[in-house]
């Protein structure tokens, strides 16, 4: 796992939530606290990155501070980039700072080449109605992501191919399979994990692109079985789901009270 906290200047120092953040504004205490949390996490020896929520919710000062902090730890910055047209200035703002180890999330409206890997999230982009990122037109290495809208990457890959095929009728499922492989390369140890599917041609992109309802039978991580017969063996799924529902209710209540 690689973790980071997404720092943002949307929380003003008076505790209010800003609708817009000026690039020229000063870094807020909340943004500094977010960067401090990333620093604490990385200093503890855990794997991670320095996180920014999105370019349009951060001041130039915060972006520069995040880049400096990431460089000091030898890691990249995880940041949402030009997801919607409102953030079209992100490319120009990030260009002086971005390096090859940055993770650029979305890039739907990115208007220039920008160093870093691209995390392509077609389902999330469709859900938010922001458009298609056209990842095959960009020179960056592309990873398939989900933006947290789901965790079934087989389903994400199918949707990614459908959207790609709509954009380019000559594109093959091998392109999306490459995006999946690129994501695994970020965690090289995952290349030794073993996933057994309830489908005999799970390694054939042309099969998986058009086969719905594929299910995982078993997963082995570092030689340890973590999923067996489609069920996790390290945690109680029912307990986790129950606690998640409770946490979701508390979160939505807090959001309603903002």
Q: Please state, rounded to an integer, the average pLDDT across all residues of the chain.
A: 96
| Averaged pLDDT for residues 67-76 | 98
Q: According to the model, what pLDDT value does residue 56 have?
A: 96
User: pLDDT tens-digit profile of 181-227?
Assistant: 999 888 889 989 999 999 999 889 999 999 988 899 999 999 999 99
pLDDT bin (cut points 50, 70, 90) of residue 19 is: confident
| pTM of structure | 0.92
User: pLDDT tens-digit profile of 149-184?
Assistant: 988 899 999 999 999 999 999 999 999 999 999 998
Question: Mind listing the domains of the chain with CATH numbers?
Answer: 6-191 (3.20.20.140)
> Three-state secondary structure along the chain?
CCECCEECCCECCCCCECCCCCCCCCCCHHHHHHHHHHHHHHHCCCCECEEEEEHHHCCHHHHHHHHHHHHHHCCCEEEEECCCHHHCCHHHHHCCCCCCCCEEEECCCCCCCCCCEEEECHHHHHHHCCCCCCHHHCCCCEEECCCCCCCCHHHHHHHHHHHHHHHCCCCCHHHHHHHHHHHHHCCHHHHHCEEEECCCCCCCHHHHCCCCCCCEEEEEECCEEEEECCEECCCCHHHHHHHHHHHHHHHHHHHHCC
Q: According to the model, what pLDDT value does residue 151 have?
A: 85
């Amino acid at each position: 796992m690689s973790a980071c906290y997404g720092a943002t200047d949307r929380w003003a120092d008076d505790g209010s939530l800003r609708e817009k953040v000026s690039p020229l504004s000063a870094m807020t205490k909340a943004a500094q606290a977010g960067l401090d949390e990333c620093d604490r996490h990385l200093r503890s020896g855990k794997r991670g990155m320095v996180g920014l929520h999105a370019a349009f919710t951060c001041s130039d000062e915060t972006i520069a501070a995040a880049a400096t902090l990431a460089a000091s730890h030898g890691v990249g910055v995880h940041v949402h980039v030009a997801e919607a047209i409102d953030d079209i200035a992100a490319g120009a703002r990030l260009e002086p700072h971005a390096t090859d180890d940055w993770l650029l999330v979305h890039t739907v409206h990115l208007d220039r080449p920008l160093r870093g890997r691209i995390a392509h999230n077609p389902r999330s982009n469709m859900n938010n109605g922001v458009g298609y990122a056209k990842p095959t037109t960009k020179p960056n290495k592309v990873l398939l992501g989900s933006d947290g809208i789901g965790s079934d990457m087989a389903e994400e890959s199918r949707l990614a191919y459908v959207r790609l095929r709509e954009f380019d009728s000559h594109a093959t499922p091998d392109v999306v399979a490459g995006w999946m492989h690129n994501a695994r390369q970020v965690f090289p140890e995952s290349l030794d994990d073993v996933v057994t599917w309830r489908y005999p041609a799970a390694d054939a992109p042309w099969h998986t692109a058009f086969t719905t309802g594929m299910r995982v039978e078993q997963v082995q991580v570092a030689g340890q079985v973590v999923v067996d017969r489609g069920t996790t063996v390290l945690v109680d799924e029912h307990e986790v789901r129950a606690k998640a529902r409770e946490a979701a209710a508390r979160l939505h209540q807090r959001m309603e009270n903002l």
